Structure 1
Amino acid sequence: MTPAVTAAVLLAAVTHASWNAIAHRVTDKLVGFTLIAGGGLLIGLAMAPFTAPPARAAWPFLLSSAAIHIVYYALLMTSFRLGDFGQAYPIARGTAPLVVTVLAAVFAHEVPDGRAAAGIALSCAGLTGVALWGLRGRRPDWAAIGAALATGLSIAAYTVVDGLGVRASGSSLGYFAWLMALHGAVISAYAAWHWRGDTVALLRPFAALGLLGAVLSVTAYALVLWAQTRAELAPIAALRESSVIVGAAIGAVFFKERFGVPRLAAAGLLVLGIGLMLHAG
Protein backbone atom coordinates (compact mmCIF):
# COMPACT_ATOMS: atom_id res chain seq x y z
CA MET A 1 0.00 0.00 0.00
CA THR A 2 2.21 2.82 -1.30
CA PRO A 3 1.19 6.48 -0.80
CA ALA A 4 0.04 6.65 -4.44
CA VAL A 5 -2.17 3.56 -4.08
CA THR A 6 -3.53 4.85 -0.77
CA ALA A 7 -4.37 8.25 -2.24
CA ALA A 8 -6.07 6.64 -5.25
CA VAL A 9 -8.26 4.38 -3.10
CA LEU A 10 -9.20 7.18 -0.70
CA LEU A 11 -10.20 9.37 -3.66
CA ALA A 12 -12.22 6.41 -4.96
CA ALA A 13 -13.95 6.21 -1.56
CA VAL A 14 -15.06 9.85 -1.75
CA THR A 15 -16.29 9.63 -5.33
CA HIS A 16 -18.04 6.31 -4.63
CA ALA A 17 -19.98 7.65 -1.66
CA SER A 18 -20.92 10.70 -3.74
CA TRP A 19 -22.40 8.73 -6.64
CA ASN A 20 -24.29 6.47 -4.25
CA ALA A 21 -25.78 9.55 -2.61
CA ILE A 22 -26.83 10.84 -6.03
CA ALA A 23 -28.46 7.49 -6.82
CA HIS A 24 -30.30 7.61 -3.50
CA ARG A 25 -31.47 11.18 -4.15
CA VAL A 26 -33.32 10.19 -7.34
CA THR A 27 -36.74 9.00 -6.21
CA ASP A 28 -37.16 6.36 -8.93
CA LYS A 29 -34.16 4.11 -8.28
CA LEU A 30 -34.26 2.52 -11.72
CA VAL A 31 -34.04 5.99 -13.29
CA GLY A 32 -31.01 6.87 -11.17
CA PHE A 33 -29.14 3.66 -11.80
CA THR A 34 -29.99 3.64 -15.50
CA LEU A 35 -28.49 7.10 -15.93
CA ILE A 36 -25.37 6.10 -14.02
CA ALA A 37 -24.95 2.79 -15.85
CA GLY A 38 -25.82 4.40 -19.19
CA GLY A 39 -23.25 7.10 -18.62
CA GLY A 40 -20.73 4.38 -17.81
CA LEU A 41 -21.66 2.66 -21.07
CA LEU A 42 -20.96 5.84 -23.07
CA ILE A 43 -17.65 6.43 -21.28
CA GLY A 44 -16.60 2.80 -21.77
CA LEU A 45 -17.42 2.89 -25.49
CA ALA A 46 -15.51 6.17 -25.86
CA MET A 47 -12.45 4.71 -24.12
CA ALA A 48 -12.38 1.27 -25.75
CA PRO A 49 -10.89 2.30 -29.15
CA PHE A 50 -8.00 4.06 -27.41
CA THR A 51 -7.04 1.27 -24.99
CA ALA A 52 -5.47 -2.15 -25.47
CA PRO A 53 -8.14 -4.86 -25.45
CA PRO A 54 -8.05 -7.21 -22.46
CA ALA A 55 -6.03 -10.40 -22.92
CA ARG A 56 -7.98 -13.58 -23.66
CA ALA A 57 -7.34 -14.89 -20.13
CA ALA A 58 -9.19 -11.91 -18.67
CA TRP A 59 -12.48 -12.40 -20.53
CA PRO A 60 -14.00 -15.07 -18.24
CA PHE A 61 -13.42 -12.71 -15.32
CA LEU A 62 -14.74 -9.76 -17.32
CA LEU A 63 -17.99 -11.49 -18.27
CA SER A 64 -18.48 -12.86 -14.75
CA SER A 65 -17.90 -9.43 -13.27
CA ALA A 66 -20.40 -7.79 -15.64
CA ALA A 67 -23.05 -10.30 -14.51
CA ILE A 68 -22.21 -9.75 -10.82
CA HIS A 69 -22.36 -5.97 -11.28
CA ILE A 70 -25.87 -6.27 -12.70
CA VAL A 71 -26.92 -8.26 -9.62
CA TYR A 72 -25.17 -5.67 -7.44
CA TYR A 73 -27.11 -2.80 -9.04
CA ALA A 74 -30.40 -4.64 -8.53
CA LEU A 75 -29.61 -5.37 -4.88
CA LEU A 76 -28.39 -1.82 -4.24
CA MET A 77 -31.59 -0.39 -5.73
CA THR A 78 -33.58 -2.65 -3.41
CA SER A 79 -31.47 -1.60 -0.40
CA PHE A 80 -31.99 2.09 -1.10
CA ARG A 81 -35.71 1.58 -1.65
CA LEU A 82 -36.19 -0.31 1.63
CA GLY A 83 -33.77 1.48 3.98
CA ASP A 84 -32.28 4.87 4.80
CA PHE A 85 -29.08 5.82 2.98
CA GLY A 86 -27.22 6.10 6.31
CA GLN A 87 -28.28 2.54 7.16
CA ALA A 88 -28.18 0.70 3.85
CA TYR A 89 -24.87 2.12 2.61
CA PRO A 90 -22.76 1.23 5.70
CA ILE A 91 -24.16 -2.30 5.95
CA ALA A 92 -23.61 -2.97 2.24
CA ARG A 93 -20.08 -1.57 2.18
CA GLY A 94 -19.10 -2.84 5.64
CA THR A 95 -19.91 -6.46 4.79
CA ALA A 96 -17.45 -6.62 1.92
CA PRO A 97 -13.90 -6.31 3.37
CA LEU A 98 -13.96 -9.39 5.60
CA VAL A 99 -15.49 -11.50 2.83
CA VAL A 100 -12.87 -10.16 0.38
CA THR A 101 -10.14 -11.14 2.85
CA VAL A 102 -11.37 -14.75 2.86
CA LEU A 103 -11.94 -14.93 -0.91
CA ALA A 104 -8.56 -13.33 -1.68
CA ALA A 105 -6.83 -15.87 0.56
CA VAL A 106 -8.58 -18.75 -1.21
CA PHE A 107 -8.46 -17.61 -4.85
CA ALA A 108 -5.55 -15.15 -5.01
CA HIS A 109 -3.40 -16.76 -2.29
CA GLU A 110 -3.14 -13.39 -0.54
CA VAL A 111 -2.99 -14.03 3.21
CA PRO A 112 -2.54 -10.79 5.19
CA ASP A 113 0.16 -10.65 7.86
CA GLY A 114 -0.71 -9.95 11.47
CA ARG A 115 -0.62 -6.17 11.24
CA ALA A 116 -2.64 -6.05 8.00
CA ALA A 117 -5.19 -8.50 9.42
CA ALA A 118 -5.54 -6.36 12.55
CA GLY A 119 -5.99 -3.27 10.37
CA ILE A 120 -8.70 -4.96 8.32
CA ALA A 121 -10.47 -6.14 11.50
CA LEU A 122 -10.35 -2.66 13.07
CA SER A 123 -11.63 -1.08 9.88
CA CYS A 124 -14.50 -3.55 9.72
CA ALA A 125 -15.30 -2.84 13.39
CA GLY A 126 -15.54 0.85 12.53
CA LEU A 127 -17.75 0.14 9.53
CA THR A 128 -19.98 -2.09 11.66
CA GLY A 129 -20.26 0.70 14.22
CA VAL A 130 -21.54 3.08 11.57
CA ALA A 131 -24.08 0.48 10.42
CA LEU A 132 -25.30 -0.25 13.97
CA TRP A 133 -25.66 3.48 14.68
CA GLY A 134 -27.97 3.58 11.67
CA LEU A 135 -30.22 1.01 13.42
CA ARG A 136 -30.46 2.82 16.77
CA GLY A 137 -33.83 3.29 18.44
CA ARG A 138 -35.89 1.40 15.89
CA ARG A 139 -37.09 -2.09 15.16
CA PRO A 140 -34.75 -3.73 12.66
CA ASP A 141 -36.16 -3.83 9.15
CA TRP A 142 -34.93 -7.30 8.26
CA ALA A 143 -35.86 -6.98 4.59
CA ALA A 144 -33.73 -3.83 4.27
CA ILE A 145 -30.89 -5.37 6.28
CA GLY A 146 -31.01 -8.57 4.23
CA ALA A 147 -30.88 -6.63 0.96
CA ALA A 148 -27.92 -4.57 2.22
CA LEU A 149 -26.05 -7.71 3.36
CA ALA A 150 -26.66 -9.38 0.00
CA THR A 151 -25.37 -6.22 -1.67
CA GLY A 152 -22.21 -6.50 0.42
CA LEU A 153 -21.67 -10.10 -0.69
CA SER A 154 -22.03 -9.06 -4.33
CA ILE A 155 -19.47 -6.29 -3.74
CA ALA A 156 -17.02 -8.82 -2.32
CA ALA A 157 -17.60 -11.13 -5.28
CA TYR A 158 -16.95 -8.56 -7.99
CA THR A 159 -14.00 -7.11 -6.06
CA VAL A 160 -12.15 -10.44 -6.13
CA VAL A 161 -13.22 -11.33 -9.68
CA ASP A 162 -12.08 -7.94 -10.97
CA GLY A 163 -8.86 -8.09 -8.98
CA LEU A 164 -7.95 -11.35 -10.71
CA GLY A 165 -9.30 -10.21 -14.07
CA VAL A 166 -7.53 -6.87 -14.25
CA ARG A 167 -4.22 -8.53 -13.38
CA ALA A 168 -4.72 -11.02 -16.22
CA SER A 169 -5.87 -8.37 -18.70
CA GLY A 170 -2.56 -6.66 -19.44
CA SER A 171 -4.46 -3.35 -19.59
CA SER A 172 -6.35 -1.99 -16.60
CA LEU A 173 -7.95 0.74 -18.75
CA GLY A 174 -8.98 -1.74 -21.44
CA TYR A 175 -10.51 -4.06 -18.83
CA PHE A 176 -12.31 -1.15 -17.22
CA ALA A 177 -13.68 0.21 -20.52
CA TRP A 178 -15.16 -3.15 -21.53
CA LEU A 179 -16.57 -3.76 -18.05
CA MET A 180 -18.41 -0.42 -18.09
CA ALA A 181 -19.70 -1.07 -21.60
CA LEU A 182 -20.93 -4.60 -20.88
CA HIS A 183 -22.96 -4.10 -17.74
CA GLY A 184 -24.03 -0.60 -18.79
CA ALA A 185 -25.49 -1.99 -22.01
CA VAL A 186 -27.52 -4.66 -20.21
CA ILE A 187 -28.96 -2.26 -17.63
CA SER A 188 -29.78 0.38 -20.26
CA ALA A 189 -31.44 -2.22 -22.50
CA TYR A 190 -33.53 -3.53 -19.60
CA ALA A 191 -34.67 -0.01 -18.67
CA ALA A 192 -35.62 0.78 -22.29
CA TRP A 193 -37.65 -2.45 -22.46
CA HIS A 194 -39.26 -1.83 -19.07
CA TRP A 195 -40.38 1.71 -19.89
CA ARG A 196 -41.13 1.16 -23.58
CA GLY A 197 -41.82 4.58 -25.13
CA ASP A 198 -41.51 6.56 -21.88
CA THR A 199 -37.74 6.19 -21.48
CA VAL A 200 -36.67 9.68 -22.56
CA ALA A 201 -39.46 11.40 -20.62
CA LEU A 202 -38.52 9.57 -17.42
CA LEU A 203 -34.77 10.14 -17.73
CA ARG A 204 -34.78 13.79 -18.89
CA PRO A 205 -35.57 15.49 -15.51
CA PHE A 206 -32.62 13.75 -13.83
CA ALA A 207 -30.22 13.60 -16.77
CA ALA A 208 -27.65 16.10 -15.48
CA LEU A 209 -27.63 14.62 -11.97
CA GLY A 210 -27.42 11.07 -13.30
CA LEU A 211 -24.56 11.83 -15.67
CA LEU A 212 -22.65 13.48 -12.83
CA GLY A 213 -23.17 10.25 -10.89
CA ALA A 214 -21.86 8.29 -13.87
CA VAL A 215 -18.64 10.33 -14.01
CA LEU A 216 -18.12 9.85 -10.27
CA SER A 217 -18.87 6.12 -10.52
CA VAL A 218 -16.49 5.63 -13.43
CA THR A 219 -13.74 7.58 -11.66
CA ALA A 220 -14.16 5.61 -8.44
CA TYR A 221 -13.91 2.17 -10.03
CA ALA A 222 -11.13 3.06 -12.45
CA LEU A 223 -9.01 4.11 -9.47
CA VAL A 224 -9.82 0.88 -7.61
CA LEU A 225 -8.95 -1.33 -10.59
CA TRP A 226 -5.64 0.47 -11.03
CA ALA A 227 -4.88 0.01 -7.32
CA GLN A 228 -5.69 -3.72 -7.54
CA THR A 229 -2.82 -4.18 -9.99
CA ARG A 230 -0.40 -2.74 -7.42
CA ALA A 231 -1.48 -4.02 -4.00
CA GLU A 232 -3.32 -6.92 -2.36
CA LEU A 233 -7.10 -7.08 -2.61
CA ALA A 234 -8.14 -7.20 1.05
CA PRO A 235 -6.42 -3.99 2.25
CA ILE A 236 -7.72 -2.15 -0.82
CA ALA A 237 -11.26 -3.35 -0.09
CA ALA A 238 -11.03 -2.23 3.55
CA LEU A 239 -9.50 1.14 2.65
CA ARG A 240 -12.05 1.71 -0.09
CA GLU A 241 -14.87 1.23 2.37
CA SER A 242 -13.80 4.36 4.23
CA SER A 243 -16.46 5.67 1.84
CA VAL A 244 -18.88 4.62 4.59
CA ILE A 245 -17.69 7.52 6.75
CA VAL A 246 -18.07 9.86 3.77
CA GLY A 247 -21.51 8.40 3.15
CA ALA A 248 -22.50 8.97 6.78
CA ALA A 249 -21.38 12.61 6.51
CA ILE A 250 -23.35 13.02 3.28
CA GLY A 251 -26.39 11.48 4.97
CA ALA A 252 -26.07 13.96 7.85
CA VAL A 253 -25.62 17.02 5.64
CA PHE A 254 -27.99 16.33 2.76
CA PHE A 255 -30.53 13.82 4.11
CA LYS A 256 -30.73 15.23 7.69
CA GLU A 257 -29.61 11.93 9.23
CA ARG A 258 -27.76 12.24 12.57
CA PHE A 259 -24.00 11.62 12.57
CA GLY A 260 -23.38 11.50 16.31
CA VAL A 261 -20.52 10.57 18.65
CA PRO A 262 -20.74 6.80 17.92
CA ARG A 263 -20.02 7.49 14.27
CA LEU A 264 -17.05 9.64 15.23
CA ALA A 265 -15.74 6.73 17.32
CA ALA A 266 -16.33 4.37 14.40
CA ALA A 267 -14.42 6.74 12.14
CA GLY A 268 -11.55 6.71 14.62
CA LEU A 269 -11.40 2.90 14.51
CA LEU A 270 -11.40 3.05 10.73
CA VAL A 271 -8.49 5.50 10.73
CA LEU A 272 -6.50 3.28 13.13
CA GLY A 273 -7.18 0.28 10.90
CA ILE A 274 -6.00 2.17 7.84
CA GLY A 275 -2.82 3.16 9.67
CA LEU A 276 -2.06 -0.48 10.51
CA MET A 277 -2.65 -1.56 6.92
CA LEU A 278 -0.37 1.13 5.57
CA HIS A 279 2.48 0.01 7.85
CA ALA A 280 1.98 -3.73 7.32
CA GLY A 281 4.50 -5.96 5.63
Structure 2
Amino acid sequence: MNTAVFLAVMAAAVLHAGWNALLKIGLDRFLTASLIQIGAGLLALLALPLVALPAASAWPWIALSALLHIGYNHFLARAYRHGDLGQVYPISRGSSPLIVALLSLLLLGDRLSAGQWLGLLTLVAGIWLMAVRGGHNRRIAGPLLVDALLTASFIAGYTLADAAGARANQDALSYALWLFAVNGLVMAAVLAVQRGPQVFARLGVHWRSGLAGGLMSMSAYSLVIWAMTQAPVALVSALRETSVVFALLIGWALLKESVPPLRLLACLVIVAGAALMKLS
Protein backbone atom coordinates (compact mmCIF):
# COMPACT_ATOMS: atom_id res chain seq x y z
CA MET A 1 0.00 0.00 0.00
CA ASN A 2 1.48 3.35 -0.99
CA THR A 3 1.84 6.20 1.50
CA ALA A 4 -0.93 8.40 0.04
CA VAL A 5 -3.53 5.64 0.36
CA PHE A 6 -2.30 4.71 3.84
CA LEU A 7 -2.56 8.32 5.07
CA ALA A 8 -6.02 8.72 3.49
CA VAL A 9 -7.32 5.67 5.38
CA MET A 10 -5.73 6.91 8.62
CA ALA A 11 -7.47 10.27 8.13
CA ALA A 12 -10.73 8.38 7.58
CA ALA A 13 -10.17 6.49 10.83
CA VAL A 14 -9.66 9.76 12.75
CA LEU A 15 -12.85 11.25 11.25
CA HIS A 16 -14.79 8.07 12.04
CA ALA A 17 -13.69 8.21 15.68
CA GLY A 18 -14.47 11.92 15.76
CA TRP A 19 -18.12 11.71 14.77
CA ASN A 20 -18.66 8.79 17.15
CA ALA A 21 -17.35 10.92 20.01
CA LEU A 22 -19.27 14.00 18.87
CA LEU A 23 -22.70 12.42 18.83
CA LYS A 24 -23.17 11.50 22.48
CA ILE A 25 -26.45 13.41 22.43
CA GLY A 26 -28.88 11.24 24.37
CA LEU A 27 -30.59 9.46 21.48
CA ASP A 28 -30.78 5.69 21.10
CA ARG A 29 -28.26 4.10 18.73
CA PHE A 30 -30.68 3.65 15.83
CA LEU A 31 -31.80 7.29 15.98
CA THR A 32 -28.20 8.47 16.25
CA ALA A 33 -27.16 6.41 13.22
CA SER A 34 -30.19 7.69 11.29
CA LEU A 35 -29.44 11.29 12.22
CA ILE A 36 -25.86 10.95 10.94
CA GLN A 37 -26.91 9.33 7.68
CA ILE A 38 -29.68 11.82 7.01
CA GLY A 39 -27.28 14.68 7.73
CA ALA A 40 -24.72 13.19 5.35
CA GLY A 41 -27.45 12.67 2.77
CA LEU A 42 -28.50 16.32 2.90
CA LEU A 43 -24.91 17.49 2.45
CA ALA A 44 -24.40 15.04 -0.40
CA LEU A 45 -27.54 16.34 -2.15
CA LEU A 46 -26.08 19.85 -2.11
CA ALA A 47 -22.84 18.59 -3.68
CA LEU A 48 -24.42 16.46 -6.44
CA PRO A 49 -24.32 19.26 -9.07
CA LEU A 50 -20.52 19.19 -8.76
CA VAL A 51 -20.12 15.56 -9.83
CA ALA A 52 -21.16 13.40 -12.75
CA LEU A 53 -24.06 10.97 -12.71
CA PRO A 54 -22.75 7.47 -11.88
CA ALA A 55 -22.39 4.95 -14.68
CA ALA A 56 -25.26 2.51 -15.19
CA SER A 57 -23.08 -0.31 -13.87
CA ALA A 58 -22.68 1.47 -10.52
CA TRP A 59 -26.38 1.91 -9.66
CA PRO A 60 -27.08 -1.71 -8.62
CA TRP A 61 -24.19 -1.44 -6.15
CA ILE A 62 -25.51 1.85 -4.76
CA ALA A 63 -28.94 0.26 -4.25
CA LEU A 64 -27.44 -2.84 -2.63
CA SER A 65 -25.26 -0.77 -0.31
CA ALA A 66 -28.25 1.32 0.82
CA LEU A 67 -30.19 -1.86 1.65
CA LEU A 68 -27.24 -3.36 3.52
CA HIS A 69 -26.91 -0.18 5.59
CA ILE A 70 -30.48 -0.76 6.83
CA GLY A 71 -29.48 -4.22 8.08
CA TYR A 72 -26.31 -2.80 9.62
CA ASN A 73 -28.22 -0.18 11.62
CA HIS A 74 -30.86 -2.70 12.69
CA PHE A 75 -28.46 -5.30 14.07
CA LEU A 76 -26.15 -2.69 15.58
CA ALA A 77 -29.08 -1.30 17.58
CA ARG A 78 -30.01 -4.85 18.67
CA ALA A 79 -26.44 -5.57 19.74
CA TYR A 80 -26.41 -2.47 21.96
CA ARG A 81 -29.41 -3.86 23.84
CA HIS A 82 -27.20 -6.75 25.03
CA GLY A 83 -23.89 -4.97 25.61
CA ASP A 84 -22.22 -1.59 25.72
CA LEU A 85 -20.00 0.32 23.31
CA GLY A 86 -16.75 -1.15 24.63
CA GLN A 87 -17.84 -4.67 23.64
CA VAL A 88 -20.17 -4.21 20.65
CA TYR A 89 -17.96 -1.80 18.72
CA PRO A 90 -14.74 -3.88 18.79
CA ILE A 91 -16.50 -7.17 17.97
CA SER A 92 -18.52 -5.79 15.07
CA ARG A 93 -15.82 -3.56 13.61
CA GLY A 94 -13.02 -6.04 14.30
CA SER A 95 -14.72 -9.02 12.72
CA SER A 96 -15.70 -7.38 9.42
CA PRO A 97 -12.14 -7.17 7.98
CA LEU A 98 -11.79 -10.96 8.18
CA ILE A 99 -15.05 -11.43 6.27
CA VAL A 100 -13.99 -8.80 3.73
CA ALA A 101 -10.57 -10.42 3.27
CA LEU A 102 -12.04 -13.83 2.49
CA LEU A 103 -14.84 -12.58 0.24
CA SER A 104 -12.71 -10.03 -1.63
CA LEU A 105 -10.35 -12.84 -2.60
CA LEU A 106 -13.25 -14.86 -4.00
CA LEU A 107 -15.36 -12.06 -5.50
CA LEU A 108 -12.91 -9.30 -6.47
CA GLY A 109 -9.71 -11.26 -6.97
CA ASP A 110 -7.79 -9.15 -4.41
CA ARG A 111 -4.79 -11.06 -3.13
CA LEU A 112 -2.68 -10.33 -0.06
CA SER A 113 0.93 -11.21 0.63
CA ALA A 114 1.88 -13.28 3.67
CA GLY A 115 3.07 -10.14 5.46
CA GLN A 116 -0.20 -8.36 4.75
CA TRP A 117 -2.19 -11.31 6.10
CA LEU A 118 -0.02 -11.28 9.23
CA GLY A 119 -0.62 -7.55 9.70
CA LEU A 120 -4.36 -7.92 9.16
CA LEU A 121 -4.68 -10.78 11.64
CA THR A 122 -2.57 -8.90 14.19
CA LEU A 123 -4.74 -5.79 13.88
CA VAL A 124 -7.95 -7.81 14.21
CA ALA A 125 -6.55 -9.63 17.26
CA GLY A 126 -5.85 -6.26 18.88
CA ILE A 127 -9.41 -5.05 18.26
CA TRP A 128 -10.85 -8.25 19.71
CA LEU A 129 -8.56 -7.87 22.72
CA MET A 130 -10.34 -4.58 23.41
CA ALA A 131 -13.67 -6.42 23.50
CA VAL A 132 -12.51 -8.92 26.14
CA ARG A 133 -12.48 -6.29 28.86
CA GLY A 134 -13.95 -3.43 26.89
CA GLY A 135 -17.34 -3.12 28.48
CA HIS A 136 -18.95 -2.93 31.88
CA ASN A 137 -20.34 -6.41 31.21
CA ARG A 138 -17.22 -8.57 31.45
CA ARG A 139 -18.88 -11.67 29.92
CA ILE A 140 -19.69 -11.61 26.21
CA ALA A 141 -23.25 -12.96 26.12
CA GLY A 142 -24.50 -15.16 23.28
CA PRO A 143 -27.14 -12.72 21.94
CA LEU A 144 -24.58 -9.89 21.97
CA LEU A 145 -22.08 -12.00 20.03
CA VAL A 146 -24.66 -13.09 17.45
CA ASP A 147 -25.95 -9.58 16.80
CA ALA A 148 -22.44 -8.08 16.74
CA LEU A 149 -21.28 -10.69 14.21
CA LEU A 150 -24.38 -10.07 12.09
CA THR A 151 -23.52 -6.37 12.22
CA ALA A 152 -20.00 -7.25 11.06
CA SER A 153 -21.46 -9.23 8.16
CA PHE A 154 -23.49 -6.24 6.99
CA ILE A 155 -20.42 -3.98 7.32
CA ALA A 156 -18.49 -6.44 5.15
CA GLY A 157 -21.38 -6.59 2.69
CA TYR A 158 -21.68 -2.86 2.09
CA THR A 159 -17.88 -2.48 2.04
CA LEU A 160 -17.57 -5.02 -0.78
CA ALA A 161 -20.57 -3.55 -2.62
CA ASP A 162 -19.05 -0.07 -2.49
CA ALA A 163 -15.64 -1.31 -3.60
CA ALA A 164 -17.20 -3.02 -6.62
CA GLY A 165 -19.42 -0.02 -7.36
CA ALA A 166 -16.65 2.58 -7.14
CA ARG A 167 -14.37 0.46 -9.33
CA ALA A 168 -17.14 0.00 -11.89
CA ASN A 169 -17.91 3.73 -11.86
CA GLN A 170 -14.22 4.72 -12.21
CA ASP A 171 -15.01 7.89 -10.25
CA ALA A 172 -14.89 7.38 -6.51
CA LEU A 173 -16.16 10.85 -5.54
CA SER A 174 -19.22 10.65 -7.82
CA TYR A 175 -20.05 7.20 -6.49
CA ALA A 176 -19.61 8.29 -2.85
CA LEU A 177 -21.78 11.40 -3.08
CA TRP A 178 -24.62 9.65 -4.90
CA LEU A 179 -24.37 6.76 -2.42
CA PHE A 180 -24.74 9.12 0.56
CA ALA A 181 -27.63 10.96 -1.09
CA VAL A 182 -29.51 7.73 -1.79
CA ASN A 183 -28.67 6.26 1.61
CA GLY A 184 -29.90 9.38 3.40
CA LEU A 185 -33.23 9.23 1.60
CA VAL A 186 -33.62 5.52 2.29
CA MET A 187 -32.82 5.92 6.00
CA ALA A 188 -35.30 8.82 6.29
CA ALA A 189 -38.01 6.64 4.73
CA VAL A 190 -37.19 3.68 6.99
CA LEU A 191 -37.20 5.93 10.06
CA ALA A 192 -40.58 7.41 9.12
CA VAL A 193 -42.09 3.92 8.71
CA GLN A 194 -40.62 2.55 11.95
CA ARG A 195 -40.98 5.53 14.28
CA GLY A 196 -43.60 7.70 12.53
CA PRO A 197 -43.17 11.13 10.89
CA GLN A 198 -43.19 12.83 14.30
CA VAL A 199 -39.70 11.45 14.98
CA PHE A 200 -38.18 14.13 12.74
CA ALA A 201 -39.26 16.82 15.20
CA ARG A 202 -37.25 15.00 17.86
CA LEU A 203 -34.23 14.84 15.56
CA GLY A 204 -34.60 18.47 14.53
CA VAL A 205 -33.23 19.84 17.79
CA HIS A 206 -29.99 17.98 17.08
CA TRP A 207 -29.58 19.28 13.51
CA ARG A 208 -26.18 20.90 14.16
CA SER A 209 -24.72 17.68 15.53
CA GLY A 210 -26.36 15.74 12.70
CA LEU A 211 -24.77 17.92 10.02
CA ALA A 212 -21.37 17.96 11.74
CA GLY A 213 -21.42 14.20 12.23
CA GLY A 214 -22.75 13.69 8.71
CA LEU A 215 -19.92 15.76 7.25
CA MET A 216 -17.30 13.76 9.12
CA SER A 217 -18.99 10.46 8.26
CA MET A 218 -19.27 11.35 4.57
CA SER A 219 -15.68 12.58 4.42
CA ALA A 220 -14.37 9.49 6.19
CA TYR A 221 -16.16 6.95 4.04
CA SER A 222 -15.51 8.86 0.81
CA LEU A 223 -11.79 8.56 1.57
CA VAL A 224 -12.28 4.84 2.19
CA ILE A 225 -14.18 4.39 -1.09
CA TRP A 226 -11.39 6.14 -2.98
CA ALA A 227 -8.76 4.03 -1.21
CA MET A 228 -10.59 0.82 -2.20
CA THR A 229 -10.09 1.78 -5.85
CA GLN A 230 -6.35 2.08 -5.24
CA ALA A 231 -5.53 -0.85 -2.93
CA PRO A 232 -6.88 -4.28 -1.89
CA VAL A 233 -10.23 -3.91 -0.15
CA ALA A 234 -9.19 -6.13 2.77
CA LEU A 235 -6.27 -3.84 3.67
CA VAL A 236 -8.40 -0.71 3.52
CA SER A 237 -11.18 -2.38 5.52
CA ALA A 238 -8.76 -3.43 8.26
CA LEU A 239 -6.85 -0.15 8.44
CA ARG A 240 -9.98 1.96 8.80
CA GLU A 241 -10.79 0.02 11.98
CA THR A 242 -7.78 1.67 13.65
CA SER A 243 -10.51 4.20 14.47
CA VAL A 244 -10.91 2.29 17.75
CA VAL A 245 -7.45 3.55 18.76
CA PHE A 246 -8.30 7.15 17.90
CA ALA A 247 -11.64 6.81 19.73
CA LEU A 248 -9.75 5.67 22.82
CA LEU A 249 -7.34 8.61 22.55
CA ILE A 250 -10.21 11.08 22.12
CA GLY A 251 -11.96 9.60 25.14
CA TRP A 252 -8.78 9.91 27.21
CA ALA A 253 -7.76 13.40 26.07
CA LEU A 254 -11.12 15.15 25.77
CA LEU A 255 -13.60 13.14 27.81
CA LYS A 256 -11.19 12.25 30.64
CA GLU A 257 -11.93 8.53 30.30
CA SER A 258 -9.49 6.08 31.87
CA VAL A 259 -7.36 3.74 29.77
CA PRO A 260 -6.90 0.35 31.50
CA PRO A 261 -3.57 -1.42 30.84
CA LEU A 262 -5.22 -4.19 28.78
CA ARG A 263 -6.79 -1.66 26.43
CA LEU A 264 -3.45 0.12 26.08
CA LEU A 265 -1.88 -3.22 25.15
CA ALA A 266 -4.66 -3.76 22.60
CA CYS A 267 -3.85 -0.36 21.05
CA LEU A 268 -0.20 -1.33 20.70
CA VAL A 269 -1.17 -4.61 19.00
CA ILE A 270 -3.45 -2.71 16.58
CA VAL A 271 -0.68 -0.22 15.75
CA ALA A 272 1.74 -3.12 15.16
CA GLY A 273 -0.75 -4.72 12.77
CA ALA A 274 -1.22 -1.46 10.86
CA ALA A 275 2.56 -1.04 10.57
CA LEU A 276 2.95 -4.59 9.23
CA MET A 277 0.33 -3.94 6.56
CA LYS A 278 1.99 -0.68 5.54
CA LEU A 279 5.47 -2.18 5.34
CA SER A 280 4.53 -5.48 3.64
TM-score (norm 1): 0.91
- From the superposition, tell whether residues 141 and 247 of structure 1 become closer, same or farther in structure 2 (CA, over 3 Å): farther
Asked if the contact 2:85/2:135 (under 8 Å) is kept, the reply is no
Equivalent residue, structure 2, for 1:116: 116
Q: Which moved more, 1:27-36 or 1:117-126?
A: 27-36
For residue 18 of structure 2, what is the aligned residue in structure 1? 18
Alpha-carbon offset, residue 195 of structure 1:
4.2
Tell me how far apart the structure 2 counterparts of residues 179 and 198 of structure 1 sit (CA, whole Å).
26
264-273 or 161-170: bigger deviation: 264-273
Aligned residue in 2 for 1:264: 264
Q: Please state if 1:60 is matched with 2:60.
A: yes
8 Å contact 2:66–2:186 — kept in the other structure? no
- Please name the residue that 2:104 is paired with: 104
Shift of 1:165: 1.0
Structure-1 separation of matches of 2:228 and 2:44: 19
Overall identity of the aligned pairs, in %: 38
**Any conservation in 2 of the 1:31–1:202 contact (CA below 8 Å)?**
no
* Corresponding position of 2:72: 72
**Residues 25 and 95 of structure 1: CA distance in aligned 2, closer, same or farther (over 3 Å):** farther
User: How many angstroms does 1:223 deviate by?
Assistant: 0.7
Is 1:189 aligned to residue 189 of structure 2? yes
Match of 2:144 in 1: 144
* Post-superposition offset of 1:135: 5.1
The corresponding residue for 2:209 is 209
Unaligned runs of 5+ in 2: none
Q: Aligned Cα RMSD in Å?
A: 2.1
Deviations along 1:139-160, whole A, 9 cap, x unmatched?
3333233222211111111111
2 CA distance for matches of 1:27 and 1:228? Answer: 32
How does the TM-score come out when normalised to structure 2? 0.91
How many residues in Structure 1 have an aligned counterpart in Structure 2?
A: 280
Shift of 1:60: 1.7
Give the unaligned 5+ runs of structure 1: none
- 1:45-56 alignment to 2 at 5 Å? 45-56=45-56
Aligned to 1:246: 246
Aligned residue type for 1:189: A
**Secondary structure of the corresponding residue to residue 20 of structure 2:** helix
What is the rounded CA distance, in whole Å, between the counterparts of 1:262 and 1:19 in structure 2? 25
Matched, 1:169 2:169: yes
Q: Which deviations, in whole Å up to 9, do the C-alpha atoms of 1:100-132 show, x marking residues without a partner?
A: 110110011112111111111111111111111
Deviation at 1:197, TM superposition (A): 5.0
Contact 1:12–1:220 (Cα < 8 Å) also in 2: yes
